Structure 1
Amino acid sequence: MQESSATFPEPDMKEKLLKPARDIRSILRWGYPKFATIRFVAEHSQLSAEERNILTRVIMPPEKVVSRIRKKIACDGIRNRDLHLDGYNVLLSVDSLLKNEPLWFCDDGYIRDTRYYFSKTSQAEDIEEALDSVLEFLSEASPKSITFLLDSQISRSGELASFIRRKLEEYGIRGEARTSKTVDFDLKTEGGDPKKNLVVATSDGIVIDSVLQVLDIPACLMEKTGIEPIRLY
C-alpha cells in the first residue's frame, strides 16, 4: 500500500454533518433511542439518505462506546493467537481504503466505511488487492492461525473461499476460508467463548458486542500508511 493523505467525503459533507452529529450525541446522553434520535435530527436538518446512513454508522450510544473500546486490541496483539475474520466486512472496508473511499472514525473507536449502504454483492467481485493487503499485514502480525468466514448468500463466495485458501498457502499462513449461512452467529459463538480465547476481526457492532477481543484491520493498515479517517467532532 502506498502512503496517502487523509480520506475525505464529498465536498462540505463533513461540515454539514458536524452539527447534526453533536446534536444527536447530546440527545443520546439523555437516554433516548439511537435510531429515533437520528431520524428526528436528520429530518430537522434535511439530510439525505446517504448522510443519515453515515450518522447511523458513526454515532453510538454512550453505553456502547466504553464496552466496545475495551475489546479492541493493538495491531501487534495477535501474535500466536487464533484469529477469525468477518470476511466481507474486513475485505470490503480495506477495498474502500485502497480506492480512497471515505472511511470514518466512529464513536466506539472502530473504522467503518459507508458502502454497505449499497449492495455487498456488487462490491465483492474485485477484492484481490484488498486480500493481499490483509494477508501482508497478517504475515507480519504472526497469528497462530486465521479463519476467513464468508457469507454463503453472496454470489461466488465459494470461489472466493477457494481463492483465499490458495493465497494463504502462497503467504505461508496457517489458516482456512469457508462459507457460512450464519457468519455473525458463528463469530459471536466462537469469539465469545473464553475457553477458545480467540480474536475476531470485524467492525460489525452486533458482533463486537458479543465477542471478547476485536482486531480492527482497516485501522491497522491506516495507521501503518499514515492515512487519517474522517472524524465527526
Structure 2
Amino acid sequence: MNTHGHRHRSAHLGDKVLFNDENLLRLRKAIYDLCWLLNRGYARHSAIKLVGDHYQLPKRQRLAISRAACSDESRKMRAAKCLSIEAIKDRQLVIDGLNLIITIETIMAGGVVLRCRDSCIRDIASIHGTYRQVHETGNAIELLGQTLEFFEPENILWIFDRPVSNSGRLAVMVREIAEAQGWNWQTALMDNPDQFISRSDQIAITSDSAILDEVGQWINLGDHIVANFFPEAWIIDFSNTNYPA
C-alpha cells in the first residue's frame, strides 16, 4: 500500500520561469560553453562551476546543464554502445533502479525532464540521500515491467543504492510486483551500484553518465517510454542543439 499517495515527483515551484523561453536561450548558450570546455578536457565539476557562475545560474539550472551536456567523445562512444530495445530478447539485463524509477515517476507526474545531448532522458530531481515513495511509484514499476517483458528478456537484476535511505523498501516493492506478475526479476542492494553495473557484462539500463561511459552495452529505455507512452511529457530537448567541436 502506498502510504505517501499525497506526494508527487512533479514540477518544482518556479520551474515554469526557470525553463521559460528566455531562460532556455541562456541555458542553451551555457550548455554550448560547457560542451566546449568538456571537449577540451576541462574537469566536469570545474567546468560546471565556471559556466554556472558566468551565467549566474541558480542550482536547479546548473543541475540541468550538467545533466544535458557531454563531450563529443562521450556522445559518440555512448551512441556506439546503445542497442535497440528489441535486442534484449533472451538477454540478461541489469537496471540502475533509483535512476530509472525516479525518471519515470517524474514523467508520470508532469515534472520537467531533459532530452540530453546523448539522447538520454534525465530528470533533475535530487533525492539528497533519501528516497521517498510517491503516488506514481507502483504504476511506474508496472509500466517498466510491462514494457520490458514485452521484449522477452531472460531475466532482470535491479540494483539499488544501499546508502540511500528507503532504497531497501523500494527493492521489496519491485520484487513483490515482479512476483505478482510472474516476472523473472531479482533485486540487490549494493554500496557501490555504479561500479557493479559498469563492470557487468549484462545489458545496462541507466542514464547515469559515468556508467554509460564504462558499460559495454546499454538501452535508452527512457526515450522509448516517452515516445510510446508520454508524447505530451514536459521534455526540454537539448539533443539537437549545435555544439562546438
Change (3 A) 1:159 1:39: closer
Unpaired segments of 5 or more residues in structure 1? 1-6, 192-197
Deviations 1:90-110 (A, max 9, x none): 111111111111111111221
CA RMSD of aligned residues (A): 2.2
Partner in structure 2 of residue 72 of structure 1:
82
Number of aligned positions between the proteins: 220
Identity %: 22
Matching residue's letter, 1:22? Y
Confirm or deny that 1:10 pairs with 2:16. Answer: yes
Which runs of 5 or more residues in structure 2 are unaligned? 1-10
Amino acid at match of 1:189: R
Match of 2:205 among 201, 208, 228: 201
Distance 2:143 2:97 in 1: 13
| Matching of residues 1-233 of structure 1 within 5 Å | 9-11=15-17, 12=20, 13-116=23-126, 118-124=127-133, 127-191=137-201, 198-225=202-229, 226-227=231-232, 229-232=235-238, 233=241
C-alpha contact 2:157 2:187 (8 A) present in aligned 1: yes
Q: How has the CA–CA distance of structure 1 residues 122 and 189 changed in structure 2, closer, same or farther, with 3 Å as cutoff? A: closer
Cα distance in 1 for partners of 2:157, 2:129 equals 20
User: What CA distance in whole angstroms lies between the structure 2 residues aligned with 1:99 and 1:169?
Assistant: 26
Q: Is the 2:129–2:163 contact (alpha carbons within 8 Å) kept by the matching residues of 1?
A: no
User: What is the one-letter code of the residue matched to 1:187?
Assistant: I
With the length of structure 1 as denominator, give the TM-score of the two structures.
0.85
CA distance in 2, matches of 1:151, 1:133: 22
- Secondary structure at the aligned position of 2:114 is classed as strand
Structure 2 residue matching 1:186: 3-state secondary structure:
helix
Distance of 2:200 and 2:38 partners within structure 1: 32
